[in-house]
Amino acid sequence: MAGTLGAMASTEPTLFDQVVNLCKRRSFVFPSAEIYGGFRSTYDYGPLGVLMLRNVKDAWWRSMVQLRHDVVGLDAAILSPPQVWEASGHLDNFSDPLVDCTGCKTRHRQDQLNDPDVCPSCGESGTFTEARAFNLMFKTQAGPVEDAGADVYLRPETAQGMFINFKNIIETSRKKPPFGIAQVGKSFRNEITPGNFVFRTREFEQMELEFFVPPNEAESWYEYWMNERYQWYLDLGIPDDLLRLRAHEADELSHYSSGTSDVEFLFPWGWGELEGIANRGDFDLTQHAQHSGQKLEYFDQGTGERYVPHCIEPAAGATRSMMAFLMAAYDEEQVNDDTRTVLRLHPRLAPYKVAVLPLSKKDTLLPKAEEVLHSLQPHFMCDYDITQAIGKRYRRQDEIGTPYCVTIDFDTLEDNAVTVRERDSMEQQRIPVDQLVNYLDEQLGL
Ligand code: GAP
């Protein structure tokens, strides 16, 4: 990582500033509704951000669904009735303790105060009200009538979609424990202290697996998923000195969990959670069975055994992980008299895999460059850039993490070969056009 860590007394930009600036400048992430002055802590993913975020989610789906025989997918509704959240415990328990300062009228999360008696806004002590529980769920109304019967909630986690579809899936998918249901999608929380760019926002994307197991296997599957999930971040290029697994203390556990460990990343401000792996026991299926009156259990026709499966849940943030991948990949290095900014992203996560760059804008080169581009597009997400000097265009691709640049020059018209430049080493090789797809495929190793 380049830059300085945190907000030290320095004029040097911090890594945080560098990544946030890059995100805006190169169209990864924009503040939402910016032409209206912005909408606090809400972000839009621009042309490169949408590609990278999709790559993060696809990498998760590939490892959690595609490469396994014991996990199926789901895309459940975002709007849900209060019964779901009553049963899950979110109506009663999903809250933060809030205090108001009677001096300066600001509101704070009690559990995040450095000194529980001193207001961080005005510095006065003894001015706080009693703490009140503030529920983090967004409530809205379904249909034209605004009465209590029309209340619905935007889901604060994707997980409940899996629990309320357990019966449907076990009856239709021929899966039996141990098996899992995976989902990727938006969740919403009325966070009191959103911030640190896309680390904590009110609208974000999650990637969650609910893995249902026989009760006596819960502990070993919990260990299994902790290791799998830690390895996933390593495999996608986060160095192990920026990652750790941390077990929750008893007083940190959520209302449903008998054991949770977080995969944490060393952000510029300190360690922060990327994902929690929780042993939820039979809490959710039992709660939904009681509230819905339906049997949510597994009956083994072979053995005649009947039980409520226990659930191990690896729950990750897609938007938050994307930020961690960007921070870990950001680098600056001296090349001759120049500073080269390079995103050393894993090729699977890079927005573009290949950039096609005709050496000059001359008409003679463009038809060949377009022909090469069209031959690559069915295989890889490609960029095409014909403006500015070639050195500048290489730098522009380095800065957004493109692993390979393919340059079409005047020799190409003679020998039907192109120059392929690798992002990290900047080494160049001449490759025949008819071998280009295979060559890039092998090098990218996707
Ligand atoms: N179903 C369990 C669950 O939702 P969580 O720890 O509250 O657990 C899982 O959320 C992951 O979702 C977190 O590790 C984090 O990556 C992401 N996440 C949670 N709240 C977030 C927020 N306000 N903004 C961005 N990501 C968030």
2 band by pLDDT with thresholds 50, 70 and 90? very low
310-340 pLDDT per residue, tens: 999 999 999 999 999 999 999 999 999 999 9
Check whether 9 has a pLDDT greater than 60: no
127 touches 113 (CB < 8 A): no
By the 10 Å C-beta count (0-12 exposed, 13-18 middle, 19+ buried), 353 is classed as buried
The Cα 95–Cα 89 span in angstroms is: 11
What residues are in contact with ligand 1 under a 6 Å CB criterion? Answer: 157, 159, 189, 191, 200-201, 204, 206, 208, 273-276, 313, 315-317, 319-320
Check whether 90 has a pLDDT greater than 50: yes
Q: Is the dihedral of CA 58, 211, 135, 245 positive or negative?
A: negative
The answer to whether the bond into 144 is cis (omega within 30° of 0) is no
> Residue 188's Cα: distance from chain center in Å?
14
The Cα 228–Cα 67 span in angstroms is: 13
pTM of the entire predicted model: 0.94
Check whether 5 has a pLDDT greater than 70: no
Query: Both tokens of residue 107?
Result: 């509101």
pLDDT score of 145: 78
For 408-430, what is the mean pLDDT? 97
Burial per residue of 171-195, b for 16 or more beta-carbon CB atoms within 10 angstroms, e otherwise:
eeeebbbbbbbbbbbebbbebbebe
> Amino acid identity of 269?
W
> Which atom of ligand 1 approaches the CA of 157 most closely?
4
Q: How far is CA 354 from CA 8, 151, 239, 359, in A?
A: 38, 48, 24, 15
For 264-276, what is the mean pLDDT? 97
354-378 pLDDT per residue, tens: 999 999 988 899 999 999 999 999 9
19 touches 41 (CB < 8 A): no
Atom 18 of ligand 1, residue of closest alpha carbon = 317
13 band by pLDDT with thresholds 50, 70 and 90? confident
Average pLDDT, the chain: 94
CB atoms within 10 A of CB 438: 11
Check whether 4 has a pLDDT greater than 70: no
pLDDT score of 12: 79
The Cα 387–Cα 359 span in angstroms is: 9
Check whether 58 has a pLDDT greater than 70: yes
CA of 317 to the centre of ligand 1 (A): 5
More confident site: 148 or 293: 293
Q: Is the dihedral of CA 147, 152, 156, 160 positive or negative?
A: positive
Measured in degrees and rounded to the nearest 5, phi and psi for residue 172 equal -115, -15
Counting residues of the chain whose pLDDT is more than 90, the rounded percentage is 85
pLDDT score of 386: 96
> Amino acid identity of 138?
F
DSSP characters over 141-201: E-SS--SGGGEEEE-S-SHHHHHHTHHHHHHHS---SSEEEEEEEEEE---SS-BTTTTB-
256 band by pLDDT with thresholds 50, 70 and 90? confident
By the 10 Å C-beta count (0-12 exposed, 13-18 middle, 19+ buried), 31 is classed as middle
154-180 pLDDT per residue, tens: 999 999 999 999 999 999 998 999 999
For a mutational test of ligand 1's pocket, the pick from 204, 226, 265, 287, i.e. the residue with the most ligand atoms closer than 8 A to its C-beta, is 204
Q: Which of 79-88, 102-111, 385-394 has the lowest mean pLDDT?
A: 102-111
DSSP characters over 344-412: ---TTT-S-SEEEEESS--TTTHHHHHHHHHHHTTTS-EEE--SS-HHHHHHHHHHTT-SEEEEE-HHH
For 42-48, what is the mean pLDDT? 97
